[in-house]
Amino acid sequence: MESAPEFGSLVDQHCGELLAYLIRLLDDRQAAEDCLQEVYLKAFRAHGRLPLESNRRAWLYRIATNTARSVWRRQGREDGRVTRLVDEAEDPQIQPDEQLERSADLIRLRAAVDALPYKQREALLLRRYQGLAYEAIGPILGCSPQSARANAYQALKKLRLLMGSPASQVGGE
């Protein structure tokens, strides 16, 4: 059984990236922070049963994904709308009309991502924004790495179609 200091090290190692993932999923920093606390509570309770050879990062993401789904259900958002994909810090170098165009594009992108099935949305976030390999994404989503790759591919394909953009603008593999 892993000791408390080792679990604390696991928390420290993945806290930032899990919080960023949950903020993207829940579109609310406070809800994400609350969800992260719930994730770590669940993980702490279950860590003694986790085989030593397990991928602890993927395990934490799986708990985070399932916990976020529970939050969506409690909020009445069964499909889990994802709306926060890109930091929108304003760049003083950009002209106001260009900033408005960027904002409109972000709104369109958010709507397009919202239209994706949840498994595709999660695969896309885990791959493109969390930088996880498909071998890690598969167990998080409860599928094979090949299925995770297919979900991310389908998400990008649908985004390109919905956005009417070439692959380079939406993000290709």
pLDDT at 3 over 60: no
User: Of 6-20, 89-103, 113-127, 136-150, which gets the smallest average pLDDT?
Assistant: 89-103
The closest of 161, 137, 167 to 150, measured between CA atoms, is 137
User: Of 49-58, 91-100, 133-142, which gets the smallest average pLDDT?
Assistant: 91-100
Q: What is the pLDDT of residue 84?
A: 40
Across the chain, mean pLDDT equals 78
The closest of 41, 39, 1 to 17, measured between CA atoms, is 39
CATH top-level class of 95-163: mainly alpha
Q: What is the pLDDT of residue 88?
A: 41
Mean pLDDT score, 115-123: 88
Mean pLDDT score, 100-112: 72
Q: How far is CA 110 from CA 7, 124, 134, 148, in A?
A: 35, 13, 23, 21
Give start-end residues of each CATH 1.10.1740.10 domain in the chain: 1-81
Residue 127 burial by CB count (10 A; 0-12/13-18/19+): exposed, middle or buried? buried
CA distance 124 to 148: 9
CATH top-level class of 1-81: mainly alpha
pLDDT at 2 over 90: no
Mean pLDDT score, 42-49: 88
Give start-end residues of each CATH 1.10.10.10 domain in the chain: 95-163
Mean pLDDT score, 84-100: 50
CA angle, corner 132, sides to 59 and 38, nearest 5?
35
